[in-house]
Amino acid sequence: MEVWASRYTYYTLHKHESLQITPDQYDIVGKYLVEAIQEVLGDNCTPSIQDVWTAAYDQLAGIMIQKESSLSDQDKEWKDWGDFHIVKISRESDEISSFHLSPVDGKPIPTFVPGQYVSVRVYVPNLGYMQARQYSMSDVTSSQYYRNQCKQEQGQQFTPGILSNVLHALKEPGQIVKVSHT
């Protein structure tokens, strides 16, 4: 149980860190999670069942908050979203492009380990707000840029990928995107 929990908790922690999830947001998620459970269970959701779900979520949230705090303490030099230039776009196939992202301020970037994520946030015109998506790193050998690959999701059998299509619409380097890491 501990090995399973540790492995999946590790990935979730890094995704939360890259999205800048804060402790107070866990209360919001918990509130709506318990409401969703009540809606699905209907009359079968007794007060004691609701209490058990609330306690279980609160325990998990406490673990996540504690571990995320220690994770963020490991790298104090870079917090929040940073501005990055897209310095190179390489078409790897009809569906996949690689994006080389370099910090606007020119400072060295933290190193990554294979499988680690970076979050990229861009303005999505048809939604009218910024949207973030996580990408695993495909090149971790440079302190000057991050390289990630993005598959364009056309959406023949499902909803098209919002962020992947915005990124693939970029034909030339030079755009600035927001990047967060863990």
Q: Mean pLDDT across the stretch 43-57?
A: 93
- Annotated catalytic, 153? no
- Which CATH number does the domain housing residue 87 bear? 2.40.30.10
The reply to whether 87 and 119 lie within a common domain is: yes
Residues 66 and 122 in one domain: no
Whether 117 sits among the annotated catalytic residues: the reply is no
Angle separating helix axes 2-18 and 47-74, nearest 10 degrees: 70
Instruction: Please state whether the predicted TM-score (pTM) of the whole model is above 0.85.
Output: no
The verdict on 61 and 140 lying in the same domain is no
Per annotation, catalytic residue among 17, 57, 68, 145 = 68
Give the CA-trace dihedral at 92, 133, 20, 178, to 10 degrees.
Answer: 60
Q: Which of 17, 26, 117, 146 is catalytic?
A: 26
- The verdict on 87 and 137 lying in the same domain is yes
Determine the structural domain holding residue 158 and report its residue range: 82-181
Residue 25 has pLDDT above 80, yes or no: yes
66 and 114 together in one domain: no
Average pLDDT, the chain: 81
pLDDT tens digit sequence for 145-173: 888 888 877 766 656 677 777 887 777 78
